């Protein structure tokens, strides 16, 4: 059902050696929080949502902001696990408090579905301790980074050090490229998208690191996406992949024609290089975006069941071994 | 890839409507950009159960009459072939009012089009608030034409404002409200309010002749709930913006909202059919509301 391994998949073997040397688990299993009272994964649930958020979006109350409401929504649509970051990590300085609350929220309210992904800000003093706590105290299988909101770029030396640290611990590193359309940001908040151009050269220096781009496709396009696909092993979640039959269009050899806009702009998918199936994952960006949007992507494109399974859970289960 | 009408996954298994459910909604799409690739694009509309599309790219006004005529001929041919599934809205140029009126007569009064669409690219700083639009709207009203207004709030400017990023010819909901206030008996669609919808909806709220359409932007949960609460279910129409946007985007906004199937049907098609029934009848197209 699954594709050929990623060329640099040797990271697995290497990380086993490195982690053993550190006395750390090589690949931390996804450990969904156990609900304090009731709650369970819905019967027939099979989808892994790699991109949800808890906490409070600073600019709007969302209808599924409350974690129990979000979990109920995920359960209704057959999500078996959801990798959860926290909106609180965008602006709050006490990042350990954010991560602790995230872990507790997932444990108490996560319904056996939510898997916490804490945030580490390498621009903050002693970020190494935050990373250690994410891994050792909260047992998180990965972290979610917000470079621009947190005040650093991918060129900063601290970012490379953080990737080194995450690789040693076998943690998956999610990098959020943006959090909302920049044309709609609050006027006082002017946050550009993360520039991924430096990433291929950085990742070449850290062969064991596993990186996934979150909310990538508004800005990682054209030559940048080509570089990501051809020069790295990063994976992508598809919450902001848009355009007619977008999943079909971005997969290799899928669509023999390329849609275009009548005013002459080439559409994102049409101009984009393709992404191998094994590197594309289901992500919803709930509760900001409707969960239904990403679910419909599995329907709108004429996919085989094997392709749907790879997108919906196979690729995610390969990256994070289920508990 | 499987055949276009094959579904390897039952949508109902993941809490989504089936194709049969979508057909039941009788979806009319007010925002279609696929006319130039129609044979490729339309099969996806079949897959997703869409009944009729409004093509917004019919008869662009070019620099010369010859260029405009050539474009019209090509577009009208597609409309004629697909009149059972496709309606056409022509483009206008508010900087050239007399030419626009002549163009509307050619495309709408005497041609197959059922209305017009404004854009953000016009030849001069003419938003729909500008008086140049007055004779255009009067003619549209006389013809029972559908009026679709590209309208957005985009952040930008110096100092930055929530509405400071628009192009000079790009209307925002405040412009729509100004126009609607001058023509309170003329129905018009305020498009793209998936942009700064929390403000755009408030802007048009007092004007009962203004309908709201969401398309062309990343979808946001709760937006349709808010629109229904503030405007009422009868003032929303649906648009997909394919192929540059997806069904996944446009359908999800409606299914995210807490609505009954009957309410969804109003948004997906009934409201648009009511707006356009008169002009469709003029074109010999019977519309069952």
With an 8 Å Cβ cutoff, are B242 and A244 in contact? yes
Q: What is the pLDDT of residue A321?
A: 74
Residue A171 lies in a domain: yes
Element containing residue A51 per DSSP (H, E): strand A47-54
Has residue B102 got a pLDDT over 70? yes
Has residue A271 got a pLDDT over 80? no
With an 8 Å Cβ cutoff, are B221 and A290 in contact? yes
Evaluate whether A208 touches A11 at the Cβ level (below 8 Å): yes
A181 and chain B in contact, CB less than 8 A: yes
Strands of B18-122, DSSP E = 27-32, 50-58, 86-91, 115-117
Indicate the CATH number for domain B28-282. 3.20.20.140
Sign of the C-alpha dihedral, residues B132, B138, B143, B145?
A: positive
Has residue A224 got a pLDDT over 80? yes
For B240, residues 6+ apart whose C-beta sits below 8 A from its C-beta are: B29, B31, B32, B50, B53, B215, B246, B247, B249, B250
State the Cα–Cα distance between residues A287 and A163, nearest whole angstrom. 28
For B6, residues 6+ apart whose C-beta sits below 8 A from its C-beta are: A302
Residue A91 lies in a domain: yes
Q: pLDDT band for A18, please (50, 70, 90 cuts).
A: very low
Instruction: State pLDDT tens for residues A152-168.
Output: 999 999 999 999 999 99
DSSP-assigned beta bridge partners for residue A173? A143, A211
Has residue A39 got a pLDDT over 70? no
Evaluate whether A308 touches A282 at the Cβ level (below 8 Å): no
With an 8 Å Cβ cutoff, are A293 and B9 in contact? no
Considering only CB atoms, which chain A residues are within 8 Å of B249?
Answer: 242, 293
Q: What is the pLDDT of residue B198?
A: 96
Query: In the block, which residue shows the tokens 């044979």?
Result: B39
Least confident of A35-44, A157-166, B279-288: A35-44
Least confident of A36-45, A219-228, A255-264: A255-264
Q: What is the pLDDT of residue B122?
A: 79
Residue B36's Cβ-side half-sphere holds a number of Cα atoms within 13 Å equal to: 18
Q: pLDDT band for B177, please (50, 70, 90 cuts).
A: very high
Instruction: State pLDDT tens for residues B241-258.
Output: 999 999 999 999 999 999
Residue A43 lies in a domain: yes
Query: In the block, which residue shows the tokens 């279910």?
Result: B233
Residue A2 lies in a domain: no
Among partner residues B2, B155, B198, which is closest to A304 by beta-carbon distance? B2
Total residue length of chain B: 289
Which CATH number covers residue A114?
A: 3.20.20.140
CB atoms within 10 A of CB A276: 16
Query: In the block, which residue shows the tokens 């109350």?
Result: A61
Task: Please tell me which residue of chain B has the smallest CA distance to A254.
Answer: B1
Q: Does the interface ipTM go beyond 0.90?
A: yes
- Mean pLDDT, residues B31-53 taken together: 95
Q: What is the pLDDT of residue B205?
A: 98
B244 and chain A in contact, CB less than 8 A: yes
Residue A5 lies in a domain: no
State the Cα–Cα distance between residues B112 and A195, nearest whole angstrom. 48
Q: What is the pLDDT of residue A35?
A: 42
Average pLDDT in chain B: 96
Task: Please tell me which residue of chain B has the smallest CA distance to A252.
Answer: B1
Evaluate whether A261 touches A243 at the Cβ level (below 8 Å): no
Q: What is the pLDDT of residue B194?
A: 66
State the Cα–Cα distance between residues B107 and B112, nearest whole angstrom. 6
Instruction: State pLDDT tens for residues A232-253.
Output: 999 999 999 999 999 999 999 7
State the Cα–Cα distance between residues B76 and B181, nearest whole angstrom. 34
Q: What is the pLDDT of residue A30?
A: 53
Residue A190 lies in a domain: yes
Instruction: State pLDDT tens for residues A110-122.
Output: 999 999 999 999 9
With an 8 Å Cβ cutoff, are B244 and A286 in contact? no
Task: Please tell me which residue of chain B has the smallest CA distance to A180.
Answer: B218
Q: What is the count of structural domains for chain A?
A: 1
The interaxial angle of helices B197-204 and B173-182, nearest 10 deg, is 10
Q: List all residues of chain A from 126 to 145 with a beta carbon under 8 Å from chain B.
A: none
State the Cα–Cα distance between residues A227 and B178, nearest whole angstrom. 48
Q: List all residues of chain B from 88 to 127 with a beta carbon under 8 Å from chain A.
A: 121
Number of H helices, E strands in chain A: 12, 8
For B248, residues 6+ apart whose C-beta sits below 8 A from its C-beta are: A242, A246, A292, A293, A294, A295, A296, A297, A299, A300
Has residue A36 got a pLDDT over 80? no
Torsion of CA A133, A136, A138, A139, to 10 degrees: 140
Evaluate whether B218 touches A240 at the Cβ level (below 8 Å): yes
Q: pLDDT band for A25, please (50, 70, 90 cuts).
A: very low
Q: What is the pLDDT of residue B271?
A: 98
A221 vs A39, more confident:
A221
A16 vs B64, more confident:
B64
Total residue length of chain A: 323
Considering only CB atoms, which chain A residues are within 8 Å of B170?
Answer: none
For A119, residues 6+ apart whose C-beta sits below 8 A from its C-beta are: A85, A86, A89, A95, A98, A99, A143, A144, A145, A146, A150
Domain boundaries, chain B: 28-282
Least confident of A24-38, A153-167, A215-229, B83-97: A24-38
Write out the residue range of the structural domain in which residue A212 sits. 11-319
Q: pLDDT band for B1, please (50, 70, 90 cuts).
A: confident
């Amino acid at each position: 059902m699954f594709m050929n391994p990623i060329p640099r998949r040797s990271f697995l073997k290497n990380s086993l050696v490195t982690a053993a040397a550190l006395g750390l688990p090589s690949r931390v299993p996804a450990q969904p929080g156990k609900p304090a009272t009731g709650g369970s994964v819905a019967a027939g649930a099979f989808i892994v949502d790699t991109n949800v958020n808890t906490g409070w979006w600073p600019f709007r109350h969302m209808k599924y902001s409350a974690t129990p409401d979000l979990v109920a929504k995920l359960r209704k649509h057959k999500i078996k696990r959801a990798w959860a970051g926290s909106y609180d990590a965008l602006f709050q300085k006490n990042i350990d408090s954010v991560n602790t609350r995230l872990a507790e929220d997932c444990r108490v309210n996560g319904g056996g579905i939510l898997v916490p992904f804490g945030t580490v800000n390498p621009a903050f003093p002693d970020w190494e301790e935050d990373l250690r706590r994410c891994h050792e105290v909260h047992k998180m299988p990965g972290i979610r980074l917000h470079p621009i909101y947190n005040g650093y770029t991918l060129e900063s030396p601290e970012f490379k050090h953080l990737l080194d640290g995450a690789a040693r611990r076998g943690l998956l590193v999610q990098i959020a490229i943006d959090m909302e359309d920049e044309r709609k940001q609050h006027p006082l908040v002017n946050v550009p998208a993360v520039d991924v151009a430096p990433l291929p050269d950085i990742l070449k220096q850290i062969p064991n690191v596993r990186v996934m781009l979150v909310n990538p496709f508004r800005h990682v396009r054209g030559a940048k996406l080509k570089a990501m696909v051809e020069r790295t092993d990063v994976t992508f979640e598809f919450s902001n992949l848009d355009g007619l039959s977008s999943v079909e269009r971005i997969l290799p050899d899928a669509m023999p024609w390329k849609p275009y806009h009548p005013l002459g702009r080439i559409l994102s998918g049409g101009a984009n290089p393709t992404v191998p199936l094994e590197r594309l994952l289901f992500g919803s960006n709930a509760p900001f975006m409707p969960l239904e949007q990403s679910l419909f992507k599995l329907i709108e494109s004429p996919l085989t069941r094997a392709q749907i399974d790879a997108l919906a859970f196979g690729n995610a289960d390969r990256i994070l071994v289920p508990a | 890839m499987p055949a276009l009408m094959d579904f390897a996954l039952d949508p109902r298994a993941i809490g989504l409507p089936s194709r049969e459910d979508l057909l039941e909604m009788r979806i009319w799409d007010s925002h279609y950009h696929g006319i130039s690739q129609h044979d490729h694009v339309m099969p996806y509309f079949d897959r997703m159960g869409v009944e009729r599309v409004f093509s917004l790219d019919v008869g662009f006004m070019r620099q010369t009459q010859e260029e405009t005529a050539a474009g019209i001929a090509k577009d009208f041919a597609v409309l004629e072939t697909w009149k059972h599934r496709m309606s056409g809205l022509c483009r206008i140029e508010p900087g050239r009012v007399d030419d626009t009126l002549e163009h509307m007569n050619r495309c709408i009064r005497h041609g197959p089009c059922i209305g017009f669409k404004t854009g953000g690219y016009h030849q001069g700083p003419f938003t729909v608030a500008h008086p140049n639009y007055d004779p255009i709207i009067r003619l549209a009203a006389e013809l029972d034409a559908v009026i679709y207004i590209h309208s957005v709030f985009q952040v930008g400017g110096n100092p930055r404002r929530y509405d400071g990023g628009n192009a000079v010819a790009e209307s925002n909901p405040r412009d729509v409200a100004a126009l609607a206030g001058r023509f309170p008996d003329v129905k018009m669609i305020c498009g793209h309010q998936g942009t700064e919808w929390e403000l755009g909806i408030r802007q048009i709220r007092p004007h009962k002749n203004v309908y709201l359409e969401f398309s062309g932007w990343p979808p946001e949960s709760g937006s349709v709930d808010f629109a229904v609460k503030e405007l009422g279910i009868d003032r929303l129409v649906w648009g997909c913006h394919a192929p540059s946007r997806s069904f996944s985007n446009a359908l999800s906004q409606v299914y995210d909202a807490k609505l009954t199937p009957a309410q969804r049907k109003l948004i997906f098609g009934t409201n648009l059919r009511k707006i356009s029934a008169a002009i469709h009848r003029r074109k010999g197209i019977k519309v069952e509301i």
